[in-house]
């Protein structure tokens, strides 16, 4: 049975309706005007309000407005002796569930109340259903119980409730896309599309028509109108991955879109309003890029309204056992196996400094599950650079000279030497070299650029 709040300045109506609804075993409270009603709601919740419109000290319309701003689902039925079309229209606009003209047949009011309560029940059920769906969704896929990951989970939850632009940063493979999806799945945009685009994978012109769409005849090959991804993500989320790779010209265009909330398809005259939540991600230091002038500072501020920085895996080794278990289960299921991880292997995995982060760990486990013939994954199933990794030994190999060294230059030199040596070993094959160096190919390419040795890799390949 329901909690009913009856609001009327006329005592006779309060008494009559109390009798009627208590007779149907509802719980009834009364208030004499809108203000009293609001106070009553702070003292205890109600399922439905039946309120007069004309009352001194906050009328029914004002009360409805106040209630709706905090309790969008509360049932509200208005009754008035002065039912003008105007009041009725306003009442519905403010979200009244129904409206009845005084004097009325009590049976008719009962029916309206019954209908309103049923509608509410549906809303509540629907919400619970959606929440359950969300809980089953992608947040569950994010493994981690370290305090650093706890903070991330909280952040996801908070951020899901607002519409602000989010910038997810973190090294390669730390789970940026996973987090973006989780934010979407937890938000009220969950039923709408989540559209992901890698800004680094397109040329400038292609990226523009992908994001904003184009009209027929805009360029050769544009044989019909095409919607852009911003439009396709309507009421959903658009994930702009690798935003640090965006060209300066595209940065200007994106900034405008975020400011105006409108896009202009390539070749079109008119702009189209958009309603897509933007989540951007990068593994580069946009702050530093803005300082250097390679990323627009105004765009940086616009997209980093809420920053989420994912910690590298080596800074949260506590998460490794859970992640290992998660991936072993995943690859067992995929391959119909049932292997476990030996304690020694787990120790090695926990000790390693994961530069490729969770992705590298995932690949390592995938490979180990495939290679292991026994029931327990042994350390030998891990790549050598992981099994042989020993920070102590590395330390022992260096002696600091009496008069010191230029550490930055020295490390730079060492880095270059390792990269060249790795490339030499695999005849310039970048994928294999990256593997030898325990890093994603992307990072290797950054190093090739940094040390200006991209051509060297090509030469070595050529000489195969």
Ligand X SMILES: Nc1ncnc2c1ncn2[C@@H]1O[C@H](COP(=O)(O)OP(=O)(O)OP(=O)(O)O)[C@@H](O)[C@H]1O
Q: Is 360 in the site for ligand X (CB under 6 A)?
A: no
Candidate list 60, 75, 144, 438; residue touching ligand X; CB under 6 A: 144
Q: Is 438 in the site for ligand X (CB under 6 A)?
A: no
3-7 sheet: strands from edge to edge = 27-31, 3-7, 48-52, 75-80, 98-101
Per-residue interface string for the shown chain with ligand X, residues 275-304, x marking contact by CB under 6 A: --------x---------------------
Name the residue nearer to ligand X (CB basis): 175 or 213: 175
> Per the structure block, which two tokens stand in for 110?
């009962």
β partners of residue 306: 166
Between residue 307 and residue 336, which ones bind ligand X under the rule CB under 6 A? 323, 326
The CB density around residue 296, as the number of other CB atoms within 10 Å, is 19
Name the residue nearer to ligand X (CB basis): 173 or 228: 173
Structural contact between residues 173 and 359, judged by C-beta atoms closer than 8 angstroms: yes
Pairing of strands 226-227, 213-214: antiparallel
> Per the structure block, which two tokens stand in for 136?
């089953």
Name the residue nearer to ligand X (CB basis): 284 or 302: 284
β partners of residue 238: 195, 278
Residue 438 binding partner per list Mg ion, ligand X, none, with a CB distance cut-off of 5 to 8 Å that depends on partner kind: none
**What is the closest distance, in whole angstroms, from the C-beta atom of residue 353 to ligand X in the complex?**
17
**What is the closest distance, in whole angstroms, from the C-beta atom of residue 151 to ligand X in the complex?**
13
Structural contact between residues 90 and 49, judged by C-beta atoms closer than 8 angstroms: no
45: closest CA among 133, 126, 124? 124
90: closest CA among 117, 58, 62, 69? 62
DSSP class of residue 383? -
Structural contact between residues 63 and 7, judged by C-beta atoms closer than 8 angstroms: yes
**What is the closest distance, in whole angstroms, from the C-beta atom of residue 240 to Mg ion in the complex?**
11
Three-state DSSP class for residue 263: strand
Structural contact between residues 226 and 209, judged by C-beta atoms closer than 8 angstroms: yes
Q: Is 29 in the site for ligand X (CB under 6 A)?
A: no
**What is the closest distance, in whole angstroms, from the C-beta atom of residue 359 to Mg ion in the complex?**
9
- Beta strands, E only, 283-434: 306-309, 340-341, 376-377
The CB density around residue 158, as the number of other CB atoms within 10 Å, is 12
Residue 187 binding partner per list ligand X, Mg ion, none, with a CB distance cut-off of 5 to 8 Å that depends on partner kind: none
Between residue 328 and residue 367, which ones bind Mg ion under the rule CB under 5 A? none
172: closest CA among 198, 153, 146? 198
Q: Is 213 in the site for ligand X (CB under 6 A)?
A: no
Segment near Mg ion (CB under 5 A); pick from 173-181, 216-224, 361-369, 384-392 = 173-181
Segment near Mg ion (CB under 5 A); pick from 112-120, 171-179, 181-189, 320-328 = 171-179
Q: Is 245 in the site for Mg ion (CB under 5 A)?
A: no
Name the residue nearer to ligand X (CB basis): 74 or 437: 437
Please give the residue whose beta carbon sits closest to Mg ion in the complex: 177
Residue 372 binding partner per list ligand X, Mg ion, none, with a CB distance cut-off of 5 to 8 Å that depends on partner kind: none
Q: Is 174 in the site for ligand X (CB under 6 A)?
A: yes
Q: Is 359 in the site for ligand X (CB under 6 A)?
A: yes
Segment near Mg ion (CB under 5 A); pick from 103-111, 174-182, 261-269, 350-358 = 174-182
Residue 252 sits at the vertex; the CA angle it makes with 247 and 258, to the nearest 5 degrees, is 120
Structural contact between residues 453 and 461, judged by C-beta atoms closer than 8 angstroms: no
Candidate list 32, 66, 106, 142; residue touching ligand X; CB under 6 A: 142
Candidate list 177, 245, 318, 415; residue touching ligand X; CB under 6 A: 177
Candidate list 62, 177, 245, 415; residue touching Mg ion; CB under 5 A: 177
> Per the structure block, which two tokens stand in for 307?
């920053």
The site that binds ligand X (CB under 6 A) totals a number of residues, namely 18
Name the residue nearer to ligand X (CB basis): 213 or 440: 440
Residues that bind Mg ion (CB under 5 A): 176-177
Contacting positions for ligand X (CB under 6 A): 141-144, 170, 172-178, 283, 323, 326, 358-359, 362
């Amino acid at each position: 049975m329901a909690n009913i709040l009856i609001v009327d300045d006329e005592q006779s109506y309060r008494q009559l309706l109390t009798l009627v609804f208590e007779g149907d075993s509802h719980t009834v409270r009364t208030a004499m005007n809108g203000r009293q009603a609001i106070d009553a709601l702070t003292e205890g919740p109600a399922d439905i309000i039946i309120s007069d419109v004309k009352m001194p000290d906050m009328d029914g319309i004002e009360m409805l407005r106040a209630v709706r701003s905090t309790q969008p689902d509360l049932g509200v039925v208005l009754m008035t002796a002065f039912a003008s079309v105007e009041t009725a229209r306003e009442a519905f606009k403010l979200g009244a569930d129904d409206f009845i003209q005084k004097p009325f047949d009590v049976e008719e009011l009962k029916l309206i109340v019954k209908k309103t309560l049923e509608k509410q029940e549906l809303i509540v059920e629907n919400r619970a259903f959606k929440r359950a769906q969300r809980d089953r969704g992608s947040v569950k896929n994010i493994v981690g119980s370290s305090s650093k990951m706890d903070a991330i989970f909280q952040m996801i939850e908070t951020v899901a409730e607002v519409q602000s632009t989010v910038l997810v940063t973190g090294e390669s493979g730390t789970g940026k896309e996973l987090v973006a999806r989780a934010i979407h799945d937890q938000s009220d945009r969950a039923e709408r599309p989540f559209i992901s685009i890698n800004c680094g994978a397109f040329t400038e012109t292609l990226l523009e028509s992908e994001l904003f769409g184009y009209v027929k005849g805009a360029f050769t090959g544009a044989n019909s109108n095409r919607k852009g991804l911003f439009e396709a993500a309507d009421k959903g989320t658009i994930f702009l991955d690798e935003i640090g790779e965006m060209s300066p010209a595209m940065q200007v265009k994106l900034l405008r879109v975020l400011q105006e909330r409108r896009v202009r398809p390539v070749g079109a005259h008119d702009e189209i309003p958009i309603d897509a939540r933007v989540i951007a991600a990068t593994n580069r230091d946009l702050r530093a890029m803005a300082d250097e002038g390679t990323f627009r500072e105004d765009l940086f501020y616009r997209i980093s309204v809420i920053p989420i920085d994912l910690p590298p895996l080596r800074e949260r080794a506590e998460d490794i056992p859970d992640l290992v278990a998660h991936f072993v289960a995943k690859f067992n299921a995929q391959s119909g196996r049932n292997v476990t991880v030996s304690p020694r292997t787990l120790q090695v995995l926990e000790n390693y400094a994961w530069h490729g982060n969770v992705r590298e760990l995932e690949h390592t486990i995938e490979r180990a599950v495939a290679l292991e013939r026994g029931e327990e994954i042994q350390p030998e199933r891990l790549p050598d650079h992981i099994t042989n990794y020993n920070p102590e030994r590395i330390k022992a190999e260096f002696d600091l000279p009496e008069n010191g060294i230029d550490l930055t230059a020295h490390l730079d030199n060492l880095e270059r030497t390792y990269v060249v040596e790795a490339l030499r070993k695999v005849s310039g094959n970048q994928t294999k070299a990256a593997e030898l160096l325990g890093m994603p190919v992307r990072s290797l390419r950054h190093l090739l650029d940094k040390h200006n040795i991209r051509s060297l890799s090509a030469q070595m390949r050529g000489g195969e």
